[in-house]
Amino acid sequence: MSDNQAPQAPKALRGIGNYIDDRFHLAKIGEKNLRKVFPNHWSFMLGEIALYSFIILLLTGVFLTLWFNPSMAHTTYEGSYERLRGVGMSEAYASTLHITFDVRGGLLIRQIHHWAALIFVASLVVHMLRVFFTGAFRKPREINWLIGVGIFSLAIVEGLFGYSLPDDLPSGMGIRIFQGVLLAIPVIGTYLSFFMFGGEFPGEAIIPRLYMLHILLLPGILLALIAAHFMILWYQKHTQYPGPNRTEKQVVGTPMFPGFAIKAGGFFFFTFAAIAGLSAFVQINPIHLFGPFTPTSITSGLQPDWYMGFLEGSLRLFPDWFDFDIGGYAVVTGVLIPGLGFMGLLFGGLAVYPFLEAWITGDKRAHNVADRPRNAPVRTGLGVAGITFYGVLWLAGSNDILSHTFQISLYTTTWVFRISLFVAPVLAFIITKRICLGLQRRDRATLEHGYESGTITQLPGGEFVEVHKPSSPETVEVLQSAKYQGFRSVPPTVDANGVESPAARGLFGKLRIRLAHWYTKDNVSFEDVEPHAHLHGAHSEEKVGQH
């Protein structure tokens, strides 16, 4: 074989390949897709971490399913854990203890499953924040954003149900809070509670029903949504960050095969190794220390998994001042609003935002190049305000622990968090927006004058100046992207003849114009900037050399 000839596959494999291709004509399709280019950036791995964590959840969940008994029937524990031997408990709790202490590798698999669940939700959150702050939810990716919001909401519910299955004391308390939120729903709340629990709390049916939802229905929906998410992603590709040769119609990156495939495969094993390492050395959810759940038992200092912390905080902060009756039916706003209203605010706001921003800005263009967060200061400010709002609720979920640790009155911490819930997001928005505008001004100055080299030179007249150097072509491309990102100005309210624009008429038209003005009024314009046009005015290296 000459050096110019490509090696051929074995004859048997060529025969099989030809047989399949003659019937399904997959060769051209496969070649096209295997050479598909994906942009490179470390932040794209956040979504991959979520995918790999979900795969680990499925694999470990199958193992746990073989040993777990989802029954609330009463039994007496006779296993190898001596401290609970002879204690009455449910079959669900006893089987979880059996997995932990008597099944070879059971404790490790349990911990891998739990850690993978926490990392799955965490990577989803950070991935969605990356998409939000870079504007990657805009046209044509609105549908994929909605699918992502659906995956996020189902992941939280799936985690809550899985956390409740062992029937230990913390999970039973979580189920009790879940029942309380159901009961707060006007008129139908009692019916929903009886349907879910099969009677009065705790009943005999809730664990089997949560089990079927946890291992069958919700994973099936999640799997379908994740598959749809990646099919759309495959068709549309990732957005890409500004840089040389990167345009709305041209992608710069790594081909699917072999580069991207090898990198993705290796990253899966890194993710699995990190989760396995945490599971081996960091204890999580030690159910054997808490004991079985009984409706009369309670303990302090227990916290739910981190992603449920904001709901815990909202229930602790919201007062009962607004409860009322309608026709003999109690409307418990102190539970209903924080238990369901904040969830609706979170997921509803995430789902609506892409369409709301497009309506305000009038931006109907397709976007394949991501925004730099500084170039959309209002959006970035709103995102940070939302994170701050969530963070205050999350911290409030542990106000009892904070009070005990720092010897502060529980009522004091509650009122501090109540006030912070309204003040902190506003401050976060203002500060974030000002930082973004400051970074925009610095970018404009860098684009016009070059960057400060740090070299101080004395001119013949005795003046000391700092030499400016031209920015690299890559930096210029990134800075110039501000011209094309986002929405830069308010749409005109009248045409050339003075006739009012149809878009500015009516209540919604006027509201849209006001919101567009608020959204864009402080943005720094890059329209008239030429790269390094004023470099000579900032004492360039060439000019200093001439002196």
pLDDT in tens, 146-190: 999 999 999 999 999 999 999 998 888 888 888 888 888 888 888
Residue 379 belongs to some domain of the structure: no
Same domain, 455 and 338: no
Q: Which of 371, 388, 403 is the last residue of a domain?
A: 371
Residue 414 belongs to some domain of the structure: no
What DSSP element (H or E) covers 253?
Answer: strand 253-255
Cis amide leading into 186 (omega within 30): no
Find which of 98-102, 250-254, 359-363 is predicted with most confidence, using mean pLDDT.
98-102
| SS3 (DSSP) at 166 | coil
Under 8 Å between Cβ of 256 and 189: no
Residue 16 belongs to some domain of the structure: no
Region 396-418: mean pLDDT is 91
Same domain, 125 and 217: yes
Same domain, 259 and 359: yes
State which amino acid sits at residue 233: L
Region 318-331: mean pLDDT is 82
- Write the pLDDT tens digit of every residue in 13-52: 567 767 776 767 666 666 666 677 778 888 888 999 999 9
Region 62-79: mean pLDDT is 93
Same domain, 202 and 338: yes
CA separation for the pair 47, 514 (Å, rounded): 36
Residue 515 belongs to some domain of the structure: yes
Q: Which of 352, 371, 390 is the last residue of a domain?
A: 371
Same domain, 357 and 443: no
Same domain, 112 and 219: yes
Same domain, 282 and 133: yes
CATH number at residue 69: 1.20.810.10
Residue 116: per-residue pLDDT: 96
Q: The domain containing residue 277 runs over which residues?
A: 45-371
* pLDDT exceeds 60 at position 293: yes
Same domain, 148 and 229: yes
Residue 26 belongs to some domain of the structure: no
| Banded model confidence at residue 6, pLDDT cuts 50, 70, 90 | very low
State which amino acid sits at residue 270: F
CA nearest neighbour of 487 among 441, 523, 537? 523
Residues constituting the chain: 547
Which one has a higher pLDDT value, 241 or 503?
241
Residue 345 belongs to some domain of the structure: yes
Region 110-127: mean pLDDT is 96
- In this structure, what DSSP letter does residue 344 have? H
Residue 2: per-residue pLDDT: 47
Residue 26: per-residue pLDDT: 65
- pTM of structure: 0.87
Residue 34 belongs to some domain of the structure: no
Cis amide leading into 140 (omega within 30): yes
Among the residue ranges 10-24, 117-131, 473-487, 503-517, the one predicted with the least confidence is 10-24
Among the residue ranges 90-104, 142-156, 501-515, the one predicted with the least confidence is 501-515
What's the structural domain count of the chain?
2
Same domain, 444 and 350: no
Output phi, psi for 230, to 5 deg.
-75, -30
- Write the pLDDT tens digit of every residue in 254-275: 777 777 778 888 899 999 999 9
Residue 327: per-residue pLDDT: 78
Residue 425 belongs to some domain of the structure: no
| Banded model confidence at residue 496, pLDDT cuts 50, 70, 90 | low
Same domain, 365 and 467: no
CA separation for the pair 170, 303 (Å, rounded): 8
Work out whether strand 324-326 and strand 253-255 pair parallel, antiparallel, or are unpaired.
Answer: unpaired
Residue 325: per-residue pLDDT: 83
Q: How far is CA 228 from the centre of its chain?
A: 18
Same domain, 220 and 305: yes
Region 236-242: mean pLDDT is 84
Same domain, 326 and 457: no
Average pLDDT taken over every residue of the chain: 85
Residue 304: per-residue pLDDT: 83
